[in-house]
Amino acid sequence: MSISKRIVTIVFLTSIFLVFIVFAVSKKELKKPNIVFIMSDDHAFQAISAYNEKLIQTPNIDEIANQGIIYNKAFVTNSICAPSRAVILTGKFSHLNGVKGNSEVFDGSQQTLPKILQNNGYQTAIVGKWHLKSNPTGFDYWNVLPGQGDYYNPDFIKQGKDTIYKGYVTEIITDLSVNWLKNRNKNKPFFLMMHHKAPHRSWMPAIKNLGLFDEKEFPLPENFYDDYDGREALKTQMLTVKDHMDIRMDFKVPCNECDTGSVNFWAPGEYWRRLDRLSPEECQVWEDSYKKEETEFFQVKDDEAKYDQWKFRRYMEDYLRCIASVDESVGQVLNFLKENGLDENTIVVYTSDQGFYLGEHRLFDKRFMYEEAMRTPLMIKYPKEIKKETHSDLLVQNLDISPTLLDMAQVEIPADMQGNSLRKTWNKNPSEWRDAIYYHFYEKGWGVSRHYGIRTNRYKLIHFYDDVDFWELYDLKEDPSEMNNVYDEVSNEKIIAQLKTKLAKLQLQYNDADFEKN
Ligand code: CA
């Protein structure tokens, strides 16, 4: 063979080899799973039928659980909106990611899940509630609500530009998300964060859903009249259904001459500001829909027991109406994946930024380390790896989301992330898993004191500190509703000592041992 022939042969073989390599690499890229991460805001696990059938049917959200895994003990590290989002993005506790409360600005230059995925071949998008003050980073496409956002005809910030969309926020977030999926680059795997505003206060439903649950009875939770005996920290809060909701903003009764019941000077005005976003026709439908409630209000307001029941029903009706739209949204996204052959290779996560009280301990809202707020719904579907109808009672956290999704995307999990990949929880009994959850809440306001604590499978130990100094201990096996603080019982000295040791160890592990000095 002549030299020139040899060169031609070598070039030819090298080209074939290179084509093969490129093909193999791109095939591997294609094999990476797509990710749809759906998060609602303040969605209590009690209001998902996969967890509890008493309040609402959520067939589409349940479908994720039916097709995958549902976690019965999923918790947040700090039960409030912005901090939870920062934990999910970074896989780090609040004191390290810089967002301890709702007022801090997220430092978008730090390492985040979307950035790492983007650097590893993913196209990334976030649509809906962001709530971290700085502009989103690490997203090829972002279209987010400013601050808390509005329910009706809401403003958005689309890639830095002020935009307004006509319609209902949950439906708009769904349409924008599905549109992005439709127009994506089909040669790359995708990561979509679809973040709903609903069902955040003040629970304004889609106009079409204003009549939902009109006929449903809502019995008060057993501890609706909690007297807070033995629990000093609960006595100062201003977050009860009975005494701290606003007659206009929360209950939607436009009574100008009424004492609005609000502890917030801005709340009655907020009602009108939010309604002003509706068109005159929509506003008419709204006012007609709430006529019945207004009439009832005047019938019950002087009878305490009936008034309490009415308040709770008003709260539940609108809260659940908002969830009905979220469930519909989940159904639309699942359908899109199915119809486009993306069902098998897409991980779908459903969660909330934290839980919520639905009248338990008299409360609405979140913040406290008691179960209903500390717990959050979490379910994951990925047919390739997760068996249908898997239930997990392992202690998992929102801290685990970043490591899990990186693990699934075949990307190395950075050593400074503090959560664990949930991949090992998909089989019943992983050899190693955490036996306790660490929690730390910082935000001041509404009469809630700062607190931190530990939750094991059986016990919960909480220390309220800063402006107060109270300890609480609950035996969750004997007292799942956390009504009896048994911290002062002599027989518990040993378990308290053990829990305190474990707590100190977790604080050291998570680099939060020195916070009281800060
Ligand atoms: Ca929230």
Backbone angles phi, psi at 51, to 5 degrees: -100, -35
Interaxial angle between packed helices 401-408 and 81-90, expressed in degrees from 0 to 180 and rounded to the nearest 10: 30
Report the phi/psi class of residue 52: left, alpha or beta, with left for phi > 0 and alpha for psi in -120 to 50: beta
User: Rounded to the nearest whole angstrom, what is the distance from the C-alpha of residue 81 to the centroid of ligand 1?
Assistant: 4
What's the CA angle centered on 277, arms 312 and 131, to 5 degrees? 75
CA neighbor of 157 nearest in space, from 139, 184, 178, 179: 139
For domain 451-517, give its CATH number from 3.30.1120.10, 3.40.50.920, 3.20.20.70, 3.30.2310.20. Answer: 3.30.1120.10
| Res 5: pLDDT | 64
Dmax (CA) for the chain in angstroms is 106
User: Rounded to the nearest whole angstrom, what is the distance from the C-alpha of residue 200 to the centroid of ligand 1?
Assistant: 7
Supply 493's token pair.
Answer: 């000295």
Backbone angles phi, psi at 41, to 5 degrees: -120, 115
Give me the DSSP letters along 387-399.
-TTEEE-S-EEGG
User: Rounded to the nearest whole angstrom, what is the distance from the C-alpha of residue 365 to the centroid of ligand 1?
Assistant: 9
Residue 37's H or E segment, with its range, is strand 34-40
Rounded Cα distance, 239 and 254, in Å:
21
Do the first three CATH levels of 26-204+324-429 and 451-517 match, i.e. the same topology? no
Q: Per-domain residue ranges for the chain?
A: 26-204+324-429, 207-315, 451-517
Beta-bridge partner residues of 39: 195, 351
Rounded Cα distance, 57 and 65, in Å:
14
Distances (CA, A) of 449 to 234, 239, 359: 9, 13, 20
The alpha helices in 186-303, defined as continuous H runs, are 232-235, 267-275, 280-289, 291-300
- Predicted TM-score (pTM) of the model is 0.94
Contact 419, 390 (CB under 8 A): no
For residue 269, the tally of other CB atoms under 10 A from its CB is: 12
Residue whose pair of structure tokens reads 């991949």 in the numeric block = 423
Per-residue pLDDT tens listing for the chain (518 residues):
555 666 556 555 556 555 555 445 444 445 899 999 999 999 999 999 999 999 999 999 999 999 999 999 999 999 999 999 999 999 999 999 999 999 999 999 999 999 999 999 999 999 999 999 999 999 999 999 999 999 999 999 999 999 999 999 999 999 999 999 999 999 999 999 999 999 999 999 999 999 999 999 999 999 999 999 999 999 999 999 999 999 999 999 987 777 766 667 788 788 888 889 999 999 999 999 999 999 999 999 999 999 999 999 999 999 999 999 999 999 999 999 999 999 999 999 999 999 999 999 999 999 999 999 999 999 999 999 999 999 999 999 999 999 999 999 999 999 999 999 999 999 877 878 999 999 999 999 999 999 999 999 999 999 999 999 999 999 999 999 999 999 999 999 999 999 999 999 999 999 999 877 55
Rounded Cα distance, 518 and 339, in Å:
53
CA neighbor of 199 nearest in space, from 161, 168, 176, 229: 168
User: Rounded to the nearest whole angstrom, what is the distance from the C-alpha of residue 322 to the centroid of ligand 1?
Assistant: 14
User: Rounded to the nearest whole angstrom, what is the distance from the C-alpha of residue 26 to the centroid of ligand 1?
Assistant: 39
For 300, the 3-state DSSP assignment is: helix
| Res 430: pLDDT | 83
User: Rounded to the nearest whole angstrom, what is the distance from the C-alpha of residue 15 to the centroid of ligand 1?
Assistant: 55
CA neighbor of 83 nearest in space, from 308, 354, 397: 354
User: Rounded to the nearest whole angstrom, what is the distance from the C-alpha of residue 230 to the centroid of ligand 1?
Assistant: 28
The residue length of the chain stands at: 518
| Res 431: pLDDT | 79
User: Rounded to the nearest whole angstrom, what is the distance from the C-alpha of residue 401 to the centroid of ligand 1?
Assistant: 17
Rounded Cα distance, 142 and 161, in Å:
10
User: Rounded to the nearest whole angstrom, what is the distance from the C-alpha of residue 86 to the centroid of ligand 1?
Assistant: 12
User: Rounded to the nearest whole angstrom, what is the distance from the C-alpha of residue 325 to the centroid of ligand 1?
Assistant: 17
Rounded Cα distance, 318 and 290, in Å:
11
Rounded Cα distance, 497 and 500, in Å:
5
| Res 16: pLDDT | 56
Supply 196's token pair.
Answer: 């709903």
Rounded Cα distance, 61 and 44, in Å:
13
Three-state SS across 355-368? CCCCCHHHECCCCC
User: Rounded to the nearest whole angstrom, what is the distance from the C-alpha of residue 42 to the centroid of ligand 1?
Assistant: 4
What's the CA angle centered on 65, arms 60 and 66, to 5 degrees? 85
Classify 26-204+324-429 by CATH class.
alpha beta
Supply 62's token pair.
Answer: 């349940």
For residue 197, the tally of other CB atoms under 10 A from its CB is: 24
User: Rounded to the nearest whole angstrom, what is the distance from the C-alpha of residue 333 to the centroid of ligand 1?
Assistant: 22
Contact 294, 253 (CB under 8 A): yes
User: Rounded to the nearest whole angstrom, what is the distance from the C-alpha of residue 70 to the centroid of ligand 1?
Assistant: 20
For 445, the 3-state DSSP assignment is: strand
Looking at residue 98, its amino acid is G
Supply 405's token pair.
Answer: 């999704």
User: Rounded to the nearest whole angstrom, what is the distance from the C-alpha of residue 74 to the centroid of ligand 1?
Assistant: 15
